[in-house]
Amino acid sequence: MLPGIGVFGTGSVVKVFIPFLREKGFKIEAIWGRTIAEASDAALELGIPFHTSRIDDVLLRRDVDLIFIMCSPSLHAQIAVKALGIGKHVVCDKPAGLSQSEALKMVKAAQYYPSLISIVNHSLRFLPAFTKMKKELEEGYLSGPISVVDIRVQMGSLLKDGYDWLCDETMGGGILSVVGSHVIDLISYLTHQKAIRVHAVVRTFTTTTKHIKGIRHITAPDFCSFQMELSGGTMVTATLSNHLPGQLCQEVLICGPGGHLVVKGGDLYGCKGHQEEVLYLDEVNAQDTSSVADFIPRPYIKGLQKIIDALREAFQPVEDKRGWINEPVSRAATFDDGLYVQAVIDALKISSKKREWTRVIVMTEEPDPNPLLSAAVRATAISI
Question: What pLDDT, in 10s, does the model give residues 144-177?
Answer: 999 999 999 999 998 888 888 999 999 999 999 9
How many C-beta atoms lie closer than 10 Å to residue 9's C-beta?
22
234 has a pLDDT exceeding 90 = yes
Give bridge partners of residue 153 from the DSSP assignment.
Answer: 240, 250
Cα 71 from Cα 356, distance rounded (Å): 33
Distance between CA atoms of residues 37 and 59, nearest Å: 20
Q: Domain 125-295+342-359 belongs to what topology?
A: Dihydrodipicolinate Reductase; domain 2 (3.30.360)
**Any idea which fold 4-123+298-334 has?**
Rossmann fold (3.40.50)
Please write the tens of the pLDDT for every residue from 36-75: 999 999 999 999 999 999 999 999 999 999 999 999 999 9
Give whole-number Cα distances, 347 to 141, 198, 234, 354, in Å.
Answer: 32, 7, 18, 10
**Range(s) of the chain covered by CATH 3.40.50.720:** 4-123+298-334
Candidates 206, 210, 213; CA nearest to 241 is 206
Could you give the percent of the chain with pLDDT greater than 90? 74
In this prediction, residues 227-237 reach a mean pLDDT of 98
Mean pLDDT of 223-231: 98
pLDDT computed for residue 78 by the predictor? 96
Element (H, E) at 343: helix 335-354
Given this model, what pLDDT does residue 293 score? 42
pLDDT band at 282 (very low <50, low <70, confident <90, very high): confident
Nearest to 181 by CA among 41, 339, 4: 339
Mean pLDDT calculated for residue range 237-264:
93
In this predicted structure, what is the pLDDT of residue 162?
Answer: 84
**pLDDT confidence of residue 112:** 93
The model carries a pTM of 0.90
Over the stretch 339-381, which tens digit does the pLDDT of each residue have?
Answer: 999 999 999 999 999 999 999 999 988 766 665 555 554 444 4
Residues 308-322 pLDDT 10s: 999 999 998 765 545
Mean pLDDT of the chain: 89
**Residue 274 pLDDT:** 81
pLDDT at 295: 55
171-225 per-position pLDDT tens digit: 999 999 999 999 999 999 999 999 999 999 999 999 999 888 888 899 999 999 9
In this predicted structure, what is the pLDDT of residue 380?
A: 46
Confidence (pLDDT) at 212: 87
Confidence of residue 284 (pLDDT cuts 50, 70, 90): low
CA separation, residue 313 to residues 12, 170, 171, 330 (Å): 26, 37, 34, 12
Residue-level pLDDT at 372: 57
Mean pLDDT of 223-233: 97
CATH 3.30.360.10 residue window(s) in the chain: 125-295+342-359
